[in-house]
Structure 1
């Protein structure tokens, strides 16, 4: 039977997901945006009772002078206006002065403007300040290196091979998952491994399993773990570190059991070895 993964709901009890942008967050829930608009008040003033003008209209010849054509302003959006307060985290950003970017340090508290980082999505990072305005630094567990990932609010903003997901963050913002092979680590920088965990699709809050690049832990097969960051590359935390296996062609000495929810990454269904 499928093995449940740890998540926000009580039915998902494995693959604990502790992700932060430079530190782990204890926040859960979301902050909504006020989409209300001021209602227009109709004009209730009295009608003008003045006597109408009975003068004969001017029947002169219309002035044939050409009117000036109005050219629409095609310049960049005014950086001084932003629909999101204090600033917009998802690209294209707004609300911060030139030379700064909107950031969410340590995945807690309000968004702030910080000096613009230089590392593009995919580069290794240690904190939010390293990455450029496209995204933030996804660091697993209590510290270590992470990878710059793209911020998003829906999967349509991500590459075709990834999902927009979050870990119960206190903002209606997620990150684009990174397509990598959790059995080999292919798709990640050599200093990182391919981790897998439960997450929540940002647009509908449905549980899903995503892959991303993270530092390797020390735990091997059967070792207890609090999260994937405590397991070696090629392992997932399911209450213990279990080697990740491909359901269609398992290479376990024992059983290859499916994750719950089903762990399909890049069209391949993965599970874990139980020996």
Structure 2
């Protein structure tokens, strides 16, 4: 790729359930794209659409002024940036990195300072909207970092997100995402407890979900869980990822001196779900823990 293309090219690293759709939206909206994933087969759909295949994160950074990260864990973010053949080795002063993963905000602040030493800007821009939002390009991006870096990266973010909000300095985008995640994940636990109680009391599950959907007990978390429970549809963002995010919430709260009573209790239910082998199912599969403990199954009604 000739050097004049580098300014407009976007690098994308991490093509999992969310990342594949986000990257697809970038290329479909006319931006040159170079992609990398540790599972090379994940890149093929994008290569078929015209993306270039990088041989490493460093190679992706050498070809793109802006690099997007959408990997699973904090350790993976640090390794992709500063590990062997990492992004930092391929950057030039004035480049930007957008970390869209939900990871530890305290680590991101440290990585922000480290990249700044290379003359490279780092935004934390985790997203809400789940797989549907990623596929439709309607994610909500909560951005932490410098305003100048956001101004530069906004056109890239707009290919993936319909709402982009600058929360504050480095780490604050992630803090906002963790607040939202905690409300959602604890909401799934409460909804699971209530629905299994109602079902065991003999209420028709379909009627119960319909009525709650128009009552004060309704919420976005319930709207996601209820229909999936009825349909026994537990494919989605892995429960293991939900558990990981909850640990970040608890760690952040404790570091700030906030008692994390509800988050800690909710996480225990997800730990039980993992022990039951549900880690690869959607986070709402936590309701299966209540079904098992209560001795109720979907076939009972």
Shorter-chain TM-score tier: under 0.3
Higher helix share: 2
The higher-RCO structure (CA 8 Å, 6+ apart) is: 1
Larger radius of gyration, structure 1 or 2? 1
Normalised by the length of structure 2, the TM-score is: 0.22
Normalised by the length of structure 1, the TM-score is: 0.24
